[in-house]
Structures are given as structure tokens and as C-alpha cells.
Amino acid sequence: MKINTFEEYKAAYKKSVETPELFWAEVAENFTWQKKWDRVLDWDFEEPNTKWFLNAKFNITENAIDRHLPEKANKTAFIWEPNAVEANQRVITYQNLHDEVCKVANTLKLLGVKKGDRVCIYMPMIPETVFAMLACARIGAVHSVVFAGFSSSALAGRIQDSDCKVVLTTDGAYRGVKDIPIKAVVDEAIETCSSVEKVLVYKHTNTAITINKAKDVIWQEVVPNASSTCEPELMDSEDVLFILYTSGSTGKPKGVVHTCGGYMVYTTYTFNNVFQIDTTKDSKDLFWCTADVGWITGHSYIAYGPLLAGASSVIFEGVPTFPDAGRFWKVIDKHQVTHFYTAPTAIRALEAAGSGFVTPYKLDSLKVIGSVGEPINEEAWHWYNNNIGKGKCPLVDTWWQTETGGILISALAGVTPTKPSFATLPLPGIQPLLVDDKGNEIFGNNVEGNLCIKFPWPSIIRTTYGDHKRCKEAYFSTYKGLYFTGDGCRRDENGFYRITGRVDDVMNVSGHRIGTAEVESAINMHADVVESAVVAYPHDIKGQGIYAYIIAPSTTKNHDNLRKEILAEVTKIIGPIAKPDKIQIVSGLPKTRSGKIMRRILRKVAEGELTSLGDTSTLLDPSVVDEIIAGRL
């Protein structure tokens, strides 16, 4: 299933389009199934209804762990690099991984978790977090990992939406110089979550915690005593593997649902082909994806993809700038990382810190470097390519989404061509197309439009948890018969794709996906705020920054204090990642006569594009635009 040459890529792509079922059935043959599928694919983008490998039975952890044991029991599955430079690293072999996952799985059973139950994981970047995910998968429970930077109220909303029965967490977390309370956030969250019966707490920082005798169980008191064997639950290909909440253009975050079979096949296939890692027993190849497991990148390319492929990888607890902006490069040299996968925002921040943080390190172990999460600008692409890849490592710019489960458009390292700031070509099985606003396909090259996909791939979103209609409306209704990505895209003269950014009301701040509506509703919780409108604007480091316009006519506070309170409100409702960078206090917002906010104008002002505001004559009160321009931050 590994593609080795550009010719092989072309042949695989052709086959995947002409005979997709045959193509994916051959890929799926490489896994351990207790029972093979009756049919490869059943699909309908109207409903939508997508099923892959119908009626196949297996367990994903048997494929990610057990099947490697005969050969690779002593191979490193993970090297854990702690936040503090002087703290001890941990090495987890595939045998260790097996034992730990089984112990946690048996503990979950003891806590009453059964197949199909939802389990929330709110934990920092430690190996136990991955054990927890795999333990759920082992017993057929559905994990819902929530990024440990989200606030208690954001956590509560996610726990409630899927009625999680158990929450797995830690006492605290280290992030750079900070020692962050984690359990306290869970305590506050579950006050409003009646579904939660037990909280399993891994003691990591030894921060003081409050114990609720009825619910709390300390990990170290039960997990080590549990048996290290646990028969994998037999799962159907279309049983739910996990839920992961992500932001859309409207309303509260939606629970993206991925199922077992297709997700396993696609994450493994893409991991192997995009990164081209040698996963043989004695290979020294070492993969490092710097994402947090709280995001899809961490799910697919820390927890599942590398393990399913039998690779070795790094889990890093800390942040790129602690103790200084050379930490990533130090870790690469220390562990001899060969394949490094990070986000453009980190690259830009580390570039801005100065080359003095890079030059002390050799970085000569690197073979492949990758980018994910947001468009990578040419400047950052070249800096990354020259200073980190030293001009000799293929740079793969991987485009995909929470909803796609795995990478859809990317170069295959060293196999297919790269081009600065272009994700380049679709992976086998992916049939992208560009459409205009009316949904007409834009043919040919050197064109730009909205990016859609016309045929299912194995790890496509199945539904949004508890609300299938929302899934249909968000992804399958804008353009009939197509999956709409929400991204704008250009196809160059050679047919290479360049993703230009979201065309909906979704922002991408430091690679974090945040809905404008979510931030607005958090801001509106402040008693003095009557109305608000949030837009994104270009930001040198973060890619996009958050610009909030607020109306607070009766506030008695001075504006700086009001701004501080609003930032605190957003931190409380969502988390610090959603804090606006700029808050402009205005007396009105540009609205149409029907009362719709003209965001286009607000975006232009935030971007500083003051000469191209377009037609403002249809506004209810065109004079507010002058005021907004005059008060621009």
C-alpha cells in the first residue's frame, strides 16, 4: 500500500477514481479483521449516508497494538518528552502500550463503562491520554477528547451534548512556566453534567485537588492493579470510534462522528504515504507531530495513524517557546527525530524569535518536514524549508479537516512534487472539485472557487452527534450532491491545489478553529454588551486574529476595563484561545434594512482595506461605517 514513485501515485490515483471499491478493498486487506466486509461501500450524499467495509468485524486497537507484538514488542511506540527540560523522558514500547491500554480498559469496565458509552477525556499531553483513548476503543466505548485549554463551561457543553458517563482527567498540567489546574476545571464543569458517574484522575503534577468521594477515583490507586490483558471488543466497521467537537459558522460546536473501519484504513494509508516513514522493526525513523491530542491532528497522527502503521513517535508535553524558542529544535536533536509535523503558526513564531534559536542545533536527523492546520504563507514555507529542512527534506503541506479524519490534499514526501504554499495534489481516493457560488463546477486550470469533494473516502464524517440534520445542512446542502469543505481554493496551471482559507464564518487562529458566532455569544454574556460582531483579520504570527466590534451604550466602565472584562468573559465561556486581539467599541453596526450585519464591511475595516468597502448604500445607516473607520484599531 506504499506508493514509491510519482508514476505509482498517478496509477494509484487513477485506479482509486475508476474502481474505488476495488482500490480500498485492496488497502483494507492489510489489516486484521475478525470478519471481512460484505460490501466495500454504500453511499448517498443527500442523506448523507456513508458506510465503508459493511459488516466487517474487528477492533482498531488489535490493529494498532496486538498485531505488532510478535515482531515489535520491544519497538518504541512512544517517546514522551516532558515540559521541563530536566525532567525524565519516558519510553513506551508496543508491549508496554498493550499492557497499559489493557489496564485502563479493565479499569473503565470496573467503573461501569460499556460498549457504546461515551467517555470524555480532558487531559494534557502525557502518554496516559493516548492510553485512555485506546482503552476506550479497546472496550468499544466512544471517546470524546476535549482540548485541555477549553474552559469549564466549554467542557460542560461538550460533556452534556454526548452524555458522557465517565471523565478522565489529571490533577494539573504543565505548560511552559505554568502549572495549570485541570481537575478543578472538571469539578466545575460536572456540576451541570448529570450524566457523569465517575471521574478517573491521573496524578501528574501533584497539585492539590478536591476529592469528591462519590465520584472520584485516583488512577494510580486502581489502574496498576488491573489486569494487563483485556480481550478487544468485537466492533462493527460502522460502530462509532470517537466524537470530536469542532466549530462551525453557526451555533455551538458540533460533535463530528468518526467510525472504526474507514477511519482505521484511511489514517494508516495517509500516514504511510504522506510521510513515507520506515516502520520496520529496527528502523530508526521517529515521527513527531506537535499537535495536541485534543485536535483531530493529534487523534489521527499521534494516537492512531502512527500506531496502526507500527511506527515510533514523540509525544511532547510542553510548548515551542519554553524554556526558549529553540525547544523544538533541541528535542529534534535529542531524540533524532526524522519526520517532523507542525503548524504554520509555530513556524512563524519561531522564525520571529530569531535564527539564534536554531543555529545551535544540527537538525541533521530530519528527513521529512510537514505543515498542517492553516495555509502556510510562502515566507514561512521558505524559512521552514531552508532553516529546518536545510533544503534537503521534502516539505509536505497537508490539507484536511476534523470532518475528513485524515489528510486529503498533500504531496507524498519525496515522491510527488512540492510547491511553496500549495498543498498540491489530492491523495488517491480523493476527488476534489471547485465550484462557483451557484454550485457550478469550475473546470480547467488556473481557476479559483469553493472547494468540494464529489466522492466519499473511508474516513469522511458520518454524522454530527445527536443531530444528523445539522451534518446534512453544514456539509451536504450548500452544493447538492457534494461535500462542501468551507474552504476557498485555487488550482494552478499544473492542477496543484492551494487552499486560500475559509469562505464561511469560521476563523483559524493559530491553527485553532473558532466560530465567529461562538465568540459573539460569549461576548454578549457580558451585562453591558448589547450586540457584537466578530471577524477575522490577517495576523503575522497567528495567521488570523480576532477583531470584535461591540455595542455597549450604557456602560459606566472606562473602555479599557470593559475590554478586560470581555476578555475574561470569553476565557470563561470558551477558553483563552478565543480571546479577541482587538475590541472596538462602536455605537452601531453596519446592517441591511432587513437587519443583517454586513460582515464583509467589518472584515474589510479590520483588514485595513478601507478603499474597497463596496456598496454601502443599502445600509440602514451608512454613517456608522464612517464612525467605525474612524475608530479602527
486 lines the binding site for ligand WT7 (CB under 6 A): yes
- What are the C-alpha distances in Å from 390 to residues 325, 339, 381, 384? 18, 14, 12, 8
**At which residue does the C-alpha cell 509536505 appear?**
396
Examine residue 544 and tell whether it contacts ligand WT7 (CB under 6 A).
Answer: no
Q: Which is nearer to ligand WT7, 189 or 372 (CB)?
A: 372
Q: Are 468 and 254 in contact (CB under 8 A)?
A: no
Question: Which set of grid coordinates corresponds to residue 404?
Answer: 475528513
| Least spacing, CB of residue 341 vs ligand WT7, in Å | 11
Question: For ligand WT7, which stretch binds (CB under 6 A), given 90-98, 315-323, 391-399, 465-473?
Answer: 391-399
| DSSP-based three-state secondary structure for 8 | helix
Among residues 52, 116, 136, 55, the alpha carbon closest in space to that of 462 is found at: 52
The per-residue b/e assignment along 272-303, b for 16 or more CB within 10 angstroms, e otherwise, is bbbbbbebeeeeebbbbbbbbbbbbbbbbbbb
The region of 282-290, 368-376, 566-574, 586-594 touching ligand WT7 under the rule CB under 6 A is 368-376
Whichever of 171 and 487 has its CB closer to ligand WT7, that residue is 487
505 near ligand WT7, rule: CB under 6 A: no
Selected binder of ligand WT7 within 316, 381, 399, 476 (CB under 6 A): 399
What CA–CA distance (Å, rounded) separates 210 from 195? 20
Q: Is 296 in the site for ligand WT7 (CB under 6 A)?
A: yes
- Whether the ω angle into residue 224 lies within 30 degrees of 0, i.e. cis, is no
Contact between 263 and ligand WT7 by CB under 6 A: the answer reads no
Does 408 bind ligand WT7 (CB under 6 A)? Our answer is no
Among residues 499, 519, 529, 585, which is the contact residue for ligand WT7, using CB under 6 A?
Answer: 499
* Number of residues located near ligand WT7, criterion CB under 6 A: 24
Phi first, then psi, for residue 268 (nearest 5°) are -65, -45
Among 51, 68, 258, 502, which residue sits at the site for ligand WT7 (rule: CB under 6 A)?
502
Q: Which residue has the cell 446534512?
A: 472
Does 294 participate in binding ligand WT7 (rule CB under 6 A)?
A: no
Least distance between ligand WT7 and beta carbon 226 (Å): 34
Residues 336 and 361 sit within 8 Å (Cβ to Cβ): no
Helix and strand numbers, DSSP H then E, in the chain: 20, 31
CA distance 319 to 299: 18
CA torsion sign, 45 to 23 to 133 to 112? Answer: positive
Give the CA dihedral 624, 625, 628, 632, nearest 10 degrees: -170
* Span from 7-15, 395-403, 458-466, 595-603 in contact with ligand WT7 (CB under 6 A): 395-403
Question: In the window 417-436, what residues touch ligand WT7 (CB under 6 A)?
Answer: 423
Residue 566, number of CB atoms within 10 A of its CB: 25
Q: Which of 253, 255, 318, 373 binds ligand WT7 (CB under 6 A)?
A: 373
- Establish if 246 lies at the interface with ligand WT7 (CB under 6 A): yes
Nearer to ligand WT7, 203 or 539 (CB): 539
Shortest Cβ 490–ligand WT7 spacing (Å): 11
Residue 279 or 342: which CB sits closer to ligand WT7?
342
* Complex with ligand WT7: residue 40 or 461, whichever CB lies closer: 461
Q: What residues line the site for ligand WT7 (CB under 6 A)?
A: 246, 295-297, 371-375, 397-402, 423, 485-487, 499, 501-502, 508, 513
